[in-house]
Homo-oligomer: A and B are copies of this chain.
Amino acid sequence: MDNRLIGLILAGGDEAAFKSKTPKVLHSLLGTSLLRLTAEALGEVGPARLIVAGLPRDLVAAEVAGLTVTIVEKTKDKGPAAAVHSARKEWARDLDGDVLIVPADLPLVESAVLRALVSRHRKKGNAGTMLWADAVASGGSEKRIPVREIEDESDFPADHPSRRIPTGIFVFRARELARVLLRVIKPGHKGASDLTAAFGLLAAAGRPVGVFLAPDPEDVQRIVSRFDLGRAADRMRLRKIRALAEGGVTILSPASTWIDWNVKIGPETVVYPGTVIEGPTVIGRNGRIYPNAHIVRSVIGDDVHVLGSTVIEDATVENDVRIGPFARVRMQTTLRSGSRVGNFVEMKKTDFGPRSKAMHLSYLGDSEVGEAANIGAGTITCNYDGVNKNRTIIGSGAFIGSGSELVAPVRIGRGAYIAAGSVITKDVEDDALAVARGRQVDKPGWAAARRAKLQKEKSGGSKP
């Protein structure tokens, strides 16, 4: 910890371009928020205190859960300097210390950069130090460069000179900041940023000030619009993917894979293109996540294959399980070790036993399935009677014939056998057979006669 450093996050700021009821810095970025990411980066610098100024206490508290943060609510005055002033009791206790000020709409800033900024600021004995960055183009769809006229070849302009601009990140000696702060808050002060003006006042007064350049300007671009948010997310996405890859995960196509900041994946697991993994999620080692899978808030073990276009949400998957494609496993479902879940199968609030299989076109809801049971294609637990949800229990080794409906509440015994196409309304004993379907009756020639009749009617019905 750095006892002479206070971290101050400015969580207010201009939000008009977001057109949102949600404060800008609470918007999601790779599954976390701008504010949270900024607080984590600033927290890693190790300040004695971390202050967030500018938003209602409850909103901030929910967002920074787990971090030690002092919250200062919004004042009526506008602008960064007013926000800094509103938090003065928190940072001005130690006037010989430094205040590192970071707007919360710079969530990509890295702690190493902040740490270097503070280090240089102190080494130089500065009163204040600004972080600057090269201006960057804003992507293919923005037109900031005007149409230029060219008279002849020699008149062709050189490449646009790169410009440096302030990032909005500052570190000040607390005493020096306190000295000039009020002067820049007074109404009518001109200038784009009043903290820059405070910096200017120090310089004009002959105090030592400095400017540092951020190593990568893309990391300190302000998020002004939702498009900036999307671009930042795609950048943060690659940062996450890099970290996973360095841990031994293969992400086949970084371009089309989305993995939230709050996701852990074990080594030797391979993630195919088009996958979306939302946090908090943990995936074990040696897994395969096939294309277009969507995993949300789940815990997945080792050696698990999630086949294509599978949705797993709020579920637990043990080791050596194979799910999908086109499976949906949700809401407190657990797939036990070695189980298999196939295509067009949904499970909800189900404990699916070890080595059991449900391979095709089934719905298991509010169920408990034992070991090594076989759930035939088209099995449906009728868990809802229009008013209540009821439970289905299927014993170990049971065989549910295809196209069966199990009308809950119902219990199928261990090793029991349900004949295909049965509607089971009563409990079935262990090792018993249950049949509940019609008997087959054949009528020779019927189909040929019917075809002829229908075709005749149809052609008769069309206008000649």
Contacts and interface: CB of A to CB of B under 8 A. Distances in A.
B253 A241 contact: no
A231 interface: yes
Q: How many of these chains are in the complex?
A: 3
A228 B151 CA distance: 30
Interface in A260-304: 267-268, 272-274, 276, 290-292, 294
Interface residues of A, number: 148
Given A147-B117, A258-B256, A437 B438 contact: yes
Instruction: Give the interface centre of A156, A226, A254 by most chain B CB atoms within 10 Å.
Output: A226
B230 A250 contact: yes
B447 A424 contact: no
A281 B328 CA distance: 28
A227 B211 contact: no
A238 interface: yes
Nearest to A218: B140
A37 B19 CA distance: 28
Contact of A382 (B159, B377, B426, B445): B377
Interface string A414-458: 011101111111101101111111111111111110110011011
Given A226-B249, A434-B441, A308 B311 contact: yes
A320 B288 CA distance: 33
A164 interface: yes
A225 interface: yes
B226 A250 contact: yes
Contacts of A378: 361, 363, 378, 380, 403, 405
Interface of A: 17-21, 27-28, 110, 112-113, 116-117, 120, 132, 139-143, 145-153, 156-157, 159, 162, 164, 210-216, 218, 225-227, 229-231, 233-235, 237-239, 241-243, 245-256, 258, 267-268, 272-274, 276, 290-292, 294, 307-309, 311, 325-326, 328, 342-344, 346, 360-363, 374, 376-378, 380, 382, 384-388, 399, 401-403, 405, 407, 415-417, 419-426, 428-429, 431-448, 450-451, 454-455, 457-458
29 contacts: A18-B248, A28-B250, A112-B147, A116-B147, A141-B242, A148-B215, A149-B212, A150-B210, A150-B211, A150-B213, A151-B211, A234-B254, A258-B291, A294-B325, A311-B326, A360-B363, A376-B384, A377-B382, A385-B454, A386-B399, A386-B451, A388-B458, A405-B420, A415-B451, A422-B440, A431-B447, A433-B443, A436-B437, A436-B439
